[in-house]
Structure 1
Amino acid sequence: MNPSSGLPRASVLPPIPSARDRAFLESLQSFIRKEKESLLSGGQYDAEQRCIMYSHVFDKVIGHTSGYKPILTTIKQEYDEIINAIKRGRREEVLLHRKLRTLASEPATMMYYRKRASELRERIELIERNSNEIERQIQRLRDERRVSGTDPEKPGTAENLMDPAQPIPGMKIEDSLDMEALTKYRQHLEERRQALKDAIKTRYVPIHLKEELDEKLALALQEKEEEEFINNKLILGYGKRRIVADAISSWVKSDKCISLEEALSLAIAKEDQLKDDVIPADVFDDTDPGKITEGKSLLEYVERFNDLLLSGQYKAAATHAAHSPRGILRNVETMEKFKAAEDRDGQVFPLLLFFEALFGSSSLTKHPINGILTLEGVKCALSRDKVDLVVHWVTQQRITFSEALGDFIKEYGDSEPFHESTCLALAQLIYRKCCNAQKAALCMCLQDQVQGALDYTYQYKRFSLDDYLFLLKNCPTAELIHGLTREWNGKPAALSVGQAVLSLIYTDHKEYGFQLLENIHSCGDRALEQVILNDVACTLEGWVEIAAECLNNGYRQLSERIRSIVTSQDGVVEISSKDEDAKIMEHVFM
C-alpha cells in the first residue's frame, strides 16, 4: 500500500531491453559461438585462447555501454594486470627451474670436464711422442739421402726436379717410349693451351660490364612481358571472332528454327569455356604446338626463372618456381639458389618468399611438399620470428608432417617462452598426425592438459609401459602421477606405485616419488603395507632399493617402515653387507 494515498503500490517491472541492445547481445553470442568453433577446429581451445576471446567480448561490451564505461574499463584493466602478472610468474618459474637444474648439474659437469681434460692430456702426450718419433725417422731418411747424394731439396737442373723414371701423366708407358706418340701428345697439349687462352678472351667479360648487362636484361624481360600480354589479347580476340563466325556458319546451315541473335547469344555465353580452351593455362600450351617440344618448354621455363632471380625479382621468381610444371623447381636445388641470393642481399628475405609461395600453392592432397623442404621452410620462418606463418601452414595442412618437424617446433618453444604454448599445440597436432602418441601425450601434459592426455593414452591401444614411463620422467606432476597409479574409468592403473617411484628416484624429480610414498604413509599404517603387498609389478627387491634411496635422501622413518614391511614377508631375509658368507648363500634365501 502507498502510505500517502492509501492506494496499492504498483509492482516494479524489469527494464525492457531495446532493439539495439537485443541485436548487440545476439551479435555477442554469435561471435562467441564462431570463435569457439574456430578454436576447437584448430586444436587451440585452451585457457589462454578463451581468455583472449572473452577479453575481446568485454571490450565490445565496454564500447557499447555509456554510463558504466569508466568502471568497466577499470575492472578490465585490473583483470588484465592480474593475468599478465600470472603469465610473468609462469615464465619466471620456468626460467628459474631451468637455472636451478643447471646449477644442480654443475658438479657432475665439472667432474666430466676434468675427466675429459685428463683424457685429452694423455692423447696430447701420445701424439707428441708419435710426432717426435716421426720427426726422427724423417731426419734419419734425410741424412741417408744426403750421404748417398739423392737429396730432393738440393737445387739443380730440371732433371733433378722431375724423376725421369716416373710415367708421363695421360700417357701409357709404351707410348712414352715412342717419339711419334710423344710428338702427337705435345701437339695435343699445345692445342689445349691455345683453346684455354681463346676461352678466356671470348667466354668471359670484365666485371664492370655487369651493371650494363643487368639493365639490358631487365629491359628485355619487360619487353617480353608486354609482348606476351599483347599476344594473349590477340588470341582472345581471335577466339571471340572465331566463335561468332562458327555460330553464323552453323545458323546458315541449320533449319533456322531460332533467330540469328539467339544463336549469337548462345555462342557468346561459351566465352568462359573458350578461355580455358584457347588461352594457354599451362606452360606446355603454345600457339603452335607442333613447332615446340615439351623439353624445350621446360628449358624456357627454367631460363625464365633464372632471369627473374638474377634481376632481383625474388617474389616473381618464387611464384614462378612454386607453380613450375611437374615440380621441376620445387626442390632443394631451387631452395639453395634462394638461400645464396639471401646471403648476397640482407635487406630482403628471398628464401622466406620462396617458402611462402611454395607452401601457398601446396596441400597434402595436391602438390605435397617433401619432409626436407618442410623442415627447412619452418626453420626459415621461425628464424624470422614468423610463428603465425607456421601456424597457418600447419593448421591449413600445407606441409608434410614428420616427427623431426614436431621436435624442432617443440625445441623452439622451449627456447622462446613467449611462444611456448603455441609451439606445444602445434607439436601436439603434428605428433598426432604422425601417430607418435608418446610425444603427443607429453605435449598435452606440458600444456597442463593431464586429463585429456590420460584419456588419449588409455584409448590408444599401442601405448606401452615404456611410453608411460617416458611421460612420467619428462613431466612428473602430481596430477599425472596420481592418474597413472590409479584406476581410470574402470581400467587398471597404467603403473604401479613401485614402478612409478623406481622410475623417479634415478632422475632429477626423485622428490615426487618420495612425496607419493609420504602421502600414502600418511593415510594410515596399513595403507603403505597394502600398496607394497598388492604391487605385482614391482618385486620386493625393488622395494628394498626404494627403501635404501629413502634413507639416502633423509626419509629415515619412511625407509624403516618399508624395510619392516618387506622383511616381515615369508621367505625374505635381510642380509648384512658385511657378512661375506651370507653373500655367498644369498641366492638360497631369495
Structure 2
Amino acid sequence: DVKVRLSHRSPLLAFCDAIMASVGAVGCKPAGELSTECVECALNENRLDLLSHWISQDRLMLSRQIGDLISRHCGCKVPCKCGCQALAQNVYTKLHLHHQAIICLLKQGRVHAGIEYAKHKSPFTKEMYVEVLRMCPSLQLMHALVAADDQGSRPLPVGVVILTVLENNSFDLVLPFIQELQNRTADDDPNTSLFHDAVLDDMETSTDEWDSLVKILQDQGYEETATNVLSTITVMSAMKTVLYKSLADDRPDSAATQG
C-alpha cells in the first residue's frame, strides 16, 4: 500500500513544480483551483515527497478539498504507512479543521494523540466517537474509548464500542478486546476486572442488547467468552436492581408513603 515514487515526471508535473518554485520569487501563491490541480497532479504521479515539500514551504493555497484529496489517496489499512494521513493531518491542522486532523491521527495509529487532541482542541460528541470507530476500528482505539479518565468518565460505553465494531462482524477485534478487559484488574479493586467496571458504568446498553451479544458469541462458537460476558452482565443487573431499590427507598416521598 505504500506509494512508490516514479523515476520520471510528466510535463504537467514539471509545470506544477515550476509554479511552486516561482512562489518565493513573486510572493503569491497559486489560486485555490490551480493549487488543487497541482496537488492532484502530484498525487497521480505518487510524488508525496514533492507535495510534502510544497506544503512545508507554504507554496499552496490550502483548502479542505486538498486535505481530503491527500487523505483519500491513502490505500493503507490502519495504521497508515504511506505518509498520506500525516500529510493530510498537516493540511487540516493548518486550516484549524480539528475534527479531520483527529481522524488522520487515528488512521496513523496514533490513538492516544488523537484522543488527547479531541479532548483539548475539538471535544467530540459520542456520535463523533462512534463515527471514527466505524471509520478506523482498532484494538487500541477500542481500549482508549472505554478508558476512564480522572473523573471516571469514558468517551463511550463499553457495550456501544463492542456492538459498533460487530456491525462489520469484526470478531478479530471484539474477542481480544473483551478478553483483555476481563484479564485486567481495576486500579481500585484487584478483585474486579476492567470489563466488570466498564459494564457497570454502561448506562446505555440495554439488557436485550447484552443478551444479543451473548447469543452472537455463542452462535459463533465463542462459548467461554459468552459465558464470561453473561456472568458479568448478570452480576451487573443484580447490582443495579439493588442500587435502584436503595435509591428509591431513600427518596423523601418514599419515606412519606411508608409513614
| Same fold? TM cut 0.5 | yes
2:214 to 536, 540, 547: 547
Q: Return the offset for 1:566.
A: 4.4
Letter of the structure 2 residue corresponding to residue 495 of structure 1: L
Cα deviation, 1:25-68, whole Å, max 9, x if unaligned, reads: xxxxxxxxxxxxxxxxxxxxxxxxxxxxxxxxxxxxxxxxxxxx
Letter of the structure 2 residue corresponding to residue 449 of structure 1: R
Q: Return the offset for 1:368.
A: 4.1
The residue number in structure 2 matching 1:493 is: 154
The residue number in structure 2 matching 1:459 is: 120
Task: Answer whether contact 2:99 2:122 (CA < 8 A) is retained.
Answer: no
Letter of the structure 2 residue corresponding to residue 471 of structure 1: V
The residue number in structure 1 matching 2:110 is: 449
The residue number in structure 2 matching 1:556 is: 223
The residue number in structure 2 matching 1:430 is: 91
Q: Return the offset for 1:514.
A: 2.3
Q: Return the offset for 1:405.
A: 1.8
Cα distance change of structure 1 residues 385 and 461 upon mapping to structure 2, 3 Å threshold = closer
Separation in structure 2 between the aligned mates of residue 489 and residue 531 of structure 1, nearest angstrom: 15
Aligned residues: 223
2:198 to 521, 525, 531: 531
Confirm or deny that 1:509 pairs with 2:176.
no
Separation in structure 2 between the aligned mates of residue 444 and residue 544 of structure 1, nearest angstrom: 35
Secondary structure of 2:124's counterpart equals: coil
The 5 A counterparts of 1:178-327 are: none
Task: Answer whether contact 2:81 2:108 (CA < 8 A) is retained.
Answer: no
Confirm or deny that 1:395 pairs with 2:34.
no
Q: Return the offset for 1:479.
A: 2.5
**TM-score, length-normalised on structure 2?**
0.70
The residue number in structure 2 matching 1:412 is: 73
Task: Answer whether contact 2:98 2:122 (CA < 8 A) is retained.
Answer: no
Structure with more relative contact order (C-alpha pairs < 8 Å, separation 6 or more): 2
Q: Return the offset for 1:447.
A: 2.8
**TM-score, length-normalised on structure 1?**
0.34
Separation in structure 2 between the aligned mates of residue 367 and residue 521 of structure 1, nearest angstrom: 59
Cα deviation, 1:114-167, whole Å, max 9, x if unaligned, reads: xxxxxxxxxxxxxxxxxxxxxxxxxxxxxxxxxxxxxxxxxxxxxxxxxxxxxx
Q: Return the offset for 1:354.
A: 3.4
Cα deviation, 1:166-212, whole Å, max 9, x if unaligned, reads: xxxxxxxxxxxxxxxxxxxxxxxxxxxxxxxxxxxxxxxxxxxxxxx
The residue number in structure 2 matching 1:133 is: none
Gapped regions of structure 2 (runs ≥ 5): 3-7, 186-190, 242-259
**Which of 1 and 2 has greater Rg?**
1
Cα distance change of structure 1 residues 397 and 541 upon mapping to structure 2, 3 Å threshold = farther
Task: Answer whether contact 1:421 1:447 (CA < 8 A) is retained.
Answer: no
Secondary structure of 2:224's counterpart equals: helix
Cα deviation, 1:199-253, whole Å, max 9, x if unaligned, reads: xxxxxxxxxxxxxxxxxxxxxxxxxxxxxxxxxxxxxxxxxxxxxxxxxxxxxxx
The residue number in structure 1 matching 2:39 is: 378
Gapped regions of structure 1 (runs ≥ 5): 1-90, 93-346, 573-590
Separation in structure 2 between the aligned mates of residue 359 and residue 553 of structure 1, nearest angstrom: 56
Cα distance change of structure 1 residues 433 and 552 upon mapping to structure 2, 3 Å threshold = farther
Separation in structure 1 between the aligned mates of residue 179 and residue 15 of structure 2, nearest angstrom: 58
Q: Return the offset for 1:526.
A: 5.2
Separation in structure 2 between the aligned mates of residue 557 and residue 422 of structure 1, nearest angstrom: 41
Q: Return the offset for 1:486.
A: 0.8
Secondary structure of 2:38's counterpart equals: helix
The residue number in structure 1 matching 2:17 is: 356
Separation in structure 2 between the aligned mates of residue 565 and residue 388 of structure 1, nearest angstrom: 52
RMSD over aligned Cα atoms: 3.3
Cα distance change of structure 1 residues 565 and 413 upon mapping to structure 2, 3 Å threshold = closer
The residue number in structure 2 matching 1:587 is: none
Separation in structure 2 between the aligned mates of residue 523 and residue 541 of structure 1, nearest angstrom: 26
The residue number in structure 2 matching 1:178 is: none
Separation in structure 1 between the aligned mates of residue 94 and residue 85 of structure 2, nearest angstrom: 14
Decide which moves more: 537-546 or 350-359. Answer: 350-359
Task: Answer whether contact 1:437 1:463 (CA < 8 A) is retained.
Answer: no
The residue number in structure 1 matching 2:251 is: none
Separation in structure 2 between the aligned mates of residue 552 and residue 436 of structure 1, nearest angstrom: 43
Q: Return the offset for 1:456.
A: 0.8
Cα deviation, 1:335-379, whole Å, max 9, x if unaligned, reads: xxxxxxxxxxxx99443343234333448xx63434332221112
Cα distance change of structure 1 residues 397 and 552 upon mapping to structure 2, 3 Å threshold = farther
